Structure 1
């Protein structure tokens, strides 16, 4: 049975919904969540459907199931705040962008952290990059559905100390703490379908977007992922390139910079919204 690892950190009337990545857990957002909460924000770090269990649990779900839990989490947090923001890591950033596209009146800003439309970083084997498009076809034909793509070091982390801690938890089977060691092919196929849908909807994102990505991302190349978002969304963008991190920027060496950039970004939007909603004297 999957346990719910979501957590709510109460704060002011500005709320931020945090969304983890594929095979990940809310734990990968915890440092960011605490930093945002310390700055005053109400933070809800949610758990995607099928996650924090085993591979079989994950493979029972679709991207629509993942997104439904995002919508439910947004509804939950919206009851507690006046301004609602969203930020996601890796695949979580795609779900964040879709939420912003679907709810332009509700979502005031998006944190796009290490956006991942496809696995094409420098650590991904050449054959995986070339055959990635076949995943959806294999799922439709029910081929190789018991297989997984197992990540190799550096596991998205440049900081060797943190890498050792995370990999130990992940390889021990503690999926609630550090996520799954493998990426089941059916789940990767669902992610590809999600990416296709989000690409179509990027022009519908009209709110400000903070895009943060490592220039040395081992999982998702900055040019084909983060720059894709920057080029296609309709809202104003702020782009920050990190140079001392790999993919998991919320827990890697520049995690404090990620926290500070997010705080400044969301505080600025909240302040602008406050000014615009203040009645003007005649």
Structure 2
């Protein structure tokens, strides 16, 4: 199946510090490519996988579930660990959710995480109907290109498979149940105005992780897909500075 232009994964062998970059739900690596390329330029070893079912058609995605997406990032994390001294995980939206899950289950393998507009729940009223709707309707109109900067496309689907959204809710339930297992350093960047993920998500995460090294950054000029919006450069520099600080502290220790 042909890929959406720009949805190709990225793999780069750089220095001893590795970074796993994870895109969001129904989106693709296109939404993360400038960030991943910035990390490459900073000298890191970078892996940005295309999650199963993403970057082609929503019908391809409809047969995948959150366990498939998690299995892929878990596999890539293991690959990075075989080549790097330290590994950081960075994700947008559902990519942030998966980063949290990796930190819960494999915290000893991760030096730190960077989350951009991560989600662990939804306040959308239609979500309560998903257990029934998913058997009656294959897809809803997609939630895509919530970007303040004009003329920018994230490479996401026009439709959202309901079985996949229902599966994502299962992932959120597991993440919330185990959130106190997150002890690694955390940077959470959230958009002041986000039409996809409610502010209560960031507030809940910050209030419930067990990490002692936690930083919140508010993005004032971006919507949900902030990695390719006006505040992208702030995300890039903040993440690189975070890696240097945490990796340097570890090396001194």
State the TM bucket, normalised to the shorter chain. Answer: over 0.9
Q: Report the count of equivalent residues.
A: 249
After superposition, where does 1:241-260 map in structure 2 within 5 Å? 241-260=218-237
Give the SS at the match of 2:107. Answer: coil
Pair 1:87-2:87 in alignment: no
Query: Which has the higher Rg, Structure 1 or Structure 2?
Result: 1
Structure 2 Cα separation of the partners of residues 42 and 186 of structure 1? 34
Secondary structure, counterpart of 1:265 in structure 2: helix
Q: Is the 8 A contact 1:136 1:192 kept in 2?
A: no
Alignment of 1:44-193 (within 5 A): 44-120=47-123, 129-139=124-134, 142-144=135-137, 146-151=138-143, 155-162=145-152, 166=153, 178-193=155-170
- After TM superposition, give the deviation of residue 7 of structure 1 in Å: 1.2
**Structure 2 counterpart of 1:279:** none
Tell me, which stretches of 5 or more residues in structure 2 are unaligned? Answer: none
Separation (CA, whole Å) in 1 of partners of 2:241 and 2:164: 34
Deviations 1:162-194 (A, max 9, x none): 2xxx1xxx7xxxxxxx12122111111111111
Q: Which residue of 1 aligns with 2:206?
A: 230
Does the aligned pair in 2 maintain the 1:11–1:40 contact within 8 Å? yes
| Partner Cα distance (1:84, 1:147) in 2 | 36
Normalising by structure 1, we get a TM-score of 0.84
Change (3 A) 1:107 1:119: same
Q: Which runs of 5+ in 1 are unaligned?
A: 121-128, 171-177, 277-282
Please state whether the residue corresponding to 2:26 is helix, strand or coil. coil
Contact conserved, 2:53 with 2:63, CA < 8 A, in 1? yes
- What is the DSSP-based 3-state SS (H/G/I as helix, E as strand, rest coil) of the residue aligned with 2:164? helix
TM-score between both structures, scaled by the size of structure 2: 0.93
Partners of 2:2 and 2:83 in 1: CA distance: 26
**By how many angstroms is 1:263 displaced?**
0.6
CA contact (8 A) 2:143 2:196 kept: no
